[in-house]
Amino acid sequence: MLRELLFRGSAPFDPYRNATLALMRYSTAALVVLTVACGRERPTGVLVVAIPGEPATVFPPHVRAASEIAVTTQIFLKLADIGPSLNTVGDSGFVPLLASAWTFRDSVTIAFAINPAARWHDGAPVLARDVAFTFDVYRDTLVNAPAAPLLSGIASVEAEGDHTVTMRFTRAYPAQFYDAVYHMSILPAHLLDTIPRDRLRGHALTGNPVGSGPYRVARQLPGELLELEAVPDWWGEGVGAERIVFRVTPDLQTAIGQLVAGEAHIVEALPTPADVARVRESGVARAVEFPSAVYMYLGFNVSAPPFNDPEVRRALVLAVDRNAIIGAVLGGRGVVPPGPVTPVQWIAAGAPGQPAADPAAARAALAGRRIAFDIMYPSTSGIRERTAVILEQQFRDVGVVVRLVPLDPNTMTERAAQGRFQAMIGGWQVNLVPDAMRELWGSSGVGVSNYGRYASPRFDSLVHAASSAMDPVQARRTWHEALAEINNDAPAIWLFSPQLAAGVSNTIENVTIIPDNWATTLRLWRLIQ
């Protein structure tokens, strides 16, 4: 699932509802393992996670912000999840969750065996019909699940008895298994199937949900905290903490202060070198660094002047020294992405990128033109503000006049969705598979996630061919052709993918951080006794 990011340091927010800032979910190029996960021990202690925004929902089809995903990951389970290898092609390396096994019956059919031990929090067994029901809910337009477009490759989901469910696909493609298991957290049909779909949002059973995961909601104090408690005799492998408290702490420095004072155990995002240093120098916490599945960009509205002219866009690319921005804003903790991809995506290696900064060439290309435009960015983000200031200077050096327009996140999202902007500093956290380019930069995303209205039939065709190619060598080649096409069209300048760090108390052991959801293994983190 895609996440739009508006930094408060590193805070994502949800473009489909009023923004609630939340710390971003991270990705890593390899599994970061600090200790081996614990076995089935009795849960002890309370983990406190400082989050900057209150989860607006804990109902999986509606979640989008990182804090919401962190919470629902503890309450609900998927059929399986990505493993340490980060593989998204075929089923190699995936970790069984609700599904104990699976079989490829043919090129477009996968049969899953539901673990007979799996139980809902009310004691009812998890059944195949729950999976079929979940698929129907996610795809229902009345529910409007953000993940619905990502399930378009699945033609049908059918229960075969109580413990076998069959998924059939519209076609064979490399990420079939990933799509089958990753995008849906399974829901209890026996509790939700009588509720009208347009009433699921805000219903009592979705606000205080019954899941199959290791934790359930214990209490929620609006604007203050959401507390989870371990499910007694959970059917799974066991949990580390007796309770997890997600404490709403909007100010990042306050959150870090809580961490170094021993009042919180986890701060998901330490966005600047100073934040990392503050945690490390405290002696009571550590900074766990890893690359991200995040890229930041300067996006152009290509539907209106001056950005409807690709020559102008290409000249502006030459004006921007992205390595200088990484050095000044991130302290060097980041890389220049080769396009709308991140270092953790398998197509990134060897991919063609945009040309390096060449101010003299930019000035020559823009000679005789008077270029002036606004750049909007979220006023809540120190990182984007500093980036905007540097961009304004670099553009001024080639004769371009830029006005910086800081906006509150809600207003910025509204303007972006409506196309009422000239340029914007945006950010996306994307899945491990590169198919998100279709939604974010393809013609199908225009007016939805493709804020800049970029549309290229050739780019669309290349993305479709790349995502359908079964041969990985051919797929990589075609993905790189798609990147070369969009880089030449320059609907945006890909600025940086940051090196991320989480702040973790030294009193916590069994810490792992895996690709796209820092909280995937949170149930195994334990307080040192």
Q: What is the DSSP string of 32-64?
A: EESSPPP-S----SEEEEEESS--S---GGG--
Sequence-distant (6+) residues with CB within 8 A of 407 are 376, 377, 378, 379, 415
- Asked if 292 and 342 touch (Cβ cutoff 8 Å), the reply is yes
Residue 394 in any domain: the answer is yes
Q: Which domain holds residue 58?
A: 31-72+207-286+500-527
User: What is the pairing mode between strands 401-407 and 372-378?
Assistant: parallel
H helix or E strand, kind and range, residue 75 = helix 66-75
Q: Which CATH number is 89's domain given?
A: 3.90.76.10
Q: What is the pLDDT of residue 220?
A: 92
Q: Which residue(s) pair with 376 in the sheet?
A: 405, 424
Domain assignment of residue 5, yes or no: no
Q: What is the pLDDT of residue 54?
A: 84
Q: Are strands 266-267 and 492-505 parallel, antiparallel or unpaired?
A: antiparallel
User: Residue 125 burial (CB < 10 Å; 0-12/13-18/19+)?
Assistant: middle
Q: How many domains does the chain have?
A: 3
Where does a domain end: 163, 192, 221?
A: 192
Q: Identity (one letter) of the amino acid at 424? A: M
Answer yes or no: is 484 within a domain.
yes
Q: Are residues 305 and 424 in the same domain?
A: yes
Q: Are residues 86 and 223 in the same domain?
A: no
Distance between CA atoms of 369 and 446, rounded to whole angstroms?
A: 29
Domain with 242 in it: what CATH number? 3.40.190.10
pLDDT at 4: 52
**513 shares a domain with 488:** no
Q: Please give the helix or strand (H or E) that residue 488 lies within, else none.
A: helix 472-489
Same domain, 478 and 511: no
**Cβ–Cβ < 8 Å for 510, 525:** yes
Measure the CA–CA gap between 275 and 281, rounded to whole angstroms: 10
Residue 315: helix, strand or coil by DSSP?
Answer: helix
Q: Are residues 56 and 103 in the same domain?
A: no
The reply to whether 343 and 482 lie within a common domain is: yes
Closest CA to 206 of 112, 320, 105, 71: 71
Kind and range of the H or E element at 463? helix 457-468
Q: What is the DSSP letter of 471?
A: S
Q: What is the C-alpha to C-alpha distance for residues 457 and 246, in angstroms, rounded to an integer?
A: 45
Name every residue whose Cβ is closer than 8 Å to that of residue 285 and which is 6 or more positions away in sequence: 259, 260, 279, 503, 504, 505, 506
**Contact by Cβ (8 Å): 403, 374:** yes
Closest by CA to 169, choosing from 107, 221, 229, is: 107
Q: Do residues 290 and 504 lie in contact, with contact meaning Cβ atoms separated by under 8 Å?
A: no
Domain at 392, CATH number: 3.10.105.10
Pick from 62, 64, 67: nearest CA to 52:
67
CA torsion sign for 170, 188, 128, 198 is negative
Q: Are residues 520 and 487 in the same domain?
A: no
Could you say which DSSP state residue 142 is in? T
Any domain includes 427: yes
Nearest Cα neighbor of 486 from 366, 365, 337 is 337
Nearest Cα neighbor of 300 from 195, 374, 404 is 374
Per-residue pLDDT of the chain (529 residues; tens, 9 = 90+): 455 554 333 333 222 222 222 223 223 233 333 333 344 567 889 999 998 888 888 999 998 777 888 999 999 999 999 887 778 888 988 999 999 999 999 999 999 999 999 999 999 999 999 999 999 999 999 998 888 888 989 999 999 999 999 999 999 988 899 999 999 999 999 999 999 999 998 888 888 899 999 999 999 999 899 999 999 989 998 899 999 999 999 888 999 999 999 999 999 888 888 899 999 999 999 998 877 788 999 999 999 999 999 999 999 999 999 999 999 999 898 999 999 999 888 899 999 999 999 999 999 999 999 999 999 999 878 889 999 999 999 999 999 999 999 998 879 988 998 999 999 999 987 888 898 888 899 998 887 789 999 999 999 999 999 988 888 899 999 999 999 999 999 999 999 999 888 999 999 999 988 767 888 889 999 998 7
221 and 183 in a single domain? The answer is no
Answer whether residue 20 is part of any domain: no
Alpha helix segments (H runs only) across 154-212: 176-182, 189-192, 204-207
Q: Which two tokens stand for residue 411?
A: 């207003």
- Residue that is written with structure tokens 């989008």 in the block: 64
Residues 6+ apart with CB under 8 A from 299: 423, 424, 425, 426, 451, 452, 491, 492
> What does the block give as tokens for 266?
């986890």
Which residue has 């710390």 as its token pair? 23
16 lies in a domain?
Answer: no
Say whether both 314 and 422 belong to one domain.
yes
Residues 251, 377 share a domain: no
What pLDDT score was predicted for residue 9?
Answer: 33
How many helical (H) and strand (E) elements, i.e. helices and strands, does the chain have? 15, 23
Claim to verify: residue 336 and residue 443 sit in the same structural domain = yes
3 state SS of 431? coil
Query: 10 Å Cβ neighbour count for 191?
Result: 17
Residues 444 and 304 in one domain: yes
60 and 184 Cβ atoms separated by less than 8 Å: yes
Residue 38 inside a domain? The answer is yes
Contact 291, 310 (CB under 8 A): no
pTM: 0.78
H-only helix segments in 359-456? 359-365, 382-396, 409-418, 436-441
Would you say how long the chain is, in residues?
529
Q: Indicate whether 11 belongs to any domain.
A: no
